[in-house]
Amino acid sequence: MHKAKWWRKDKGEKILCELCPRNCLIDIDNTGYCKVRKNINGTLYSLVYGYPCAINIDPIEKKPLFHFLPGSQVFSIGTIGCNLGCDFCQNHDISKECKFPKSLEYISPQDLVEMAIQHESKSIAFTYNEPTIYSEYILDVCKQAKKVGLKTIMVTNGYINKDVIKELYVNIDAANIDLKGFSQDFYENYCSGNLNNVLENIIEIKKQNTFIELTNLIIPGLNDSEETINNLVDWIISYLGKDIPLHLSAFYPAYKMLDKTRTPKKTLNKARKIAINKGLNFVFEGNVMTNEYDNTYCPNCNKLLIERQIYTVVYNCLKTPVCSCGQTINIIL
Ligand code: SF4
């Protein structure tokens, strides 16, 4: 077990965890909401430091990141636990069941980076469950990764305290931040979270020079209204600009939300059209088996720059982040 950062003693032996906006007050021998940070004799420990339960080599497009090292492989890890409570979680087997697989072996930050190099990955992604809850391990992995030139990636819900952002994200090269919906009611009722926290954090993460892409999962009847999509796109353009890649992702029934149907293709298409008409330059559709809206086109001359087929780059004419017409493209190659 690894001693945690970002906490202080509060009322006797209780501990206040200051890692995320939940600010759990944790009794002795108890864990916080995320189930992986435990008060042992008045000290907070991370139960998952060095114990990823999921390790895969993925195409980076699967994160999804379409404009960061396109066509590369990313060494991806996740642990158990989460600091949100989304009824529709697609990874609830690790985020919510929270049973430590007995066979897990400790992997030091150095060994993890060594494994990524052996698999010829250009980057390491902290993904699958919410990585914020094991930020101590991420920081130490990042230190080792920087030594050998590996990039680092967060796939995150953005639910983290501001002070931690400054410390953590200066070490993170890219992030896909999952906006679960675009109303406070939605966050409260279906995620047990707070939209404003996440929005403020996205702006703060961008200030750390982390390359950002956004995902928005669209659930029929819950967060798919024209008004909601309009508000989402207006906010993105106002605070992040027109060049942030946006992934509109289809919902499928999962976890506690088995009564809803899959997101119809026409709903995704409509949302994408709104985003494009308002001026967003790179809008993709995800979680659907079609290649129709997977490609990157130049926002100036409409030239095809990158063609993708189900998470695979099949054509990329960019050698630098500039189109042949002179337009700069928001992409890290
Ligand atoms: S990281 Fe976990 S323990 Fe800490 S405040 Fe958030 S949910 Fe609670």
What's residue 288's pLDDT?
84
Tell me, what CATH number does 225's domain have?
A: 3.20.20.70
Whole-number Å distance, alpha carbon 16 to ligand 1 midpoint, is 9
Residues 237 and 179 in one domain: yes
Q: Output the CA 163–ligand 1 centroid distance in Å.
A: 14
- Is the pLDDT confidence value at 137 over 80? yes
Q: What is the mean pLDDT of residues 100-123?
A: 92
Whether residue 155 is found in the same domain as residue 288:
yes
pLDDT number for residue 48: 95
Same domain, 195 and 310: yes
SS (H, E, C) the chain: CEECCCEEECCCCCEEECCCCCCCEECCCCECCCCCEEEECCEEEECCCCCCCEEEEEEHHHCCCCCECCCCEEEEEECCCCCCCCCCCCCHHHHCCCCCCCCCCCCCHHHHHHHHHHCCCCEEEECCCCHHHHHHHHHHHHHHHHHCCCEEEEEECCCCCHHHHHHHHCCCCEEEEEECCCCHHHHHHHHCCCHHHHHHHHHHHHHCCCEEEEEEEECCCCCCCHHHHHHHHHHHHHHCCCCCCEEEEECCCECCECCCCCCCHHHHHHHHHHHHHHCCCCEEEECCCCCCCCCEECCCCCCEEEEEECCEEEEECCCCCECCCCCECCCEC
The reply to whether 276 falls in a domain is yes
The answer on 140 and 21 residing in a single domain is no
Residue 197 and residue 73 share a domain: yes
Higher pLDDT, 287 or 188: 188
Residue bearing the CA closest to ligand 1, atom 2: 34
Using 50, 70 and 90 to split pLDDT, how confident is the model at 98?
low
Residue 333 domain-assigned? no
Q: Please tell me the total count of domains within the chain.
A: 2
* Predicted pLDDT at 54: 92
Say how many Å lie between the CA of residue 9 and the centre of ligand 1. Answer: 14
pLDDT of residue 291: 72
Percentage of residues in the chain having pLDDT higher than 90: 91
Per residue in 150-176, pLDDT (tens digit) is: 999 999 999 999 999 999 999 999 999
In this structure, are 94 and 28 located in the same domain?
no
208 occurs within a structural domain: yes
Q: Within this chain, do residues 150 and 9 fall inside the same structural domain, yes or no?
A: no
Query: Which residue range is the domain that position 22 belongs to?
Result: 2-46
Q: Indicate whether 244 pLDDT > 90.
A: yes
With a cut of 70, say whether residue 149 has pLDDT above it: yes
Say what the pTM is: 0.96
Q: Is residue 114 part of a domain?
A: yes
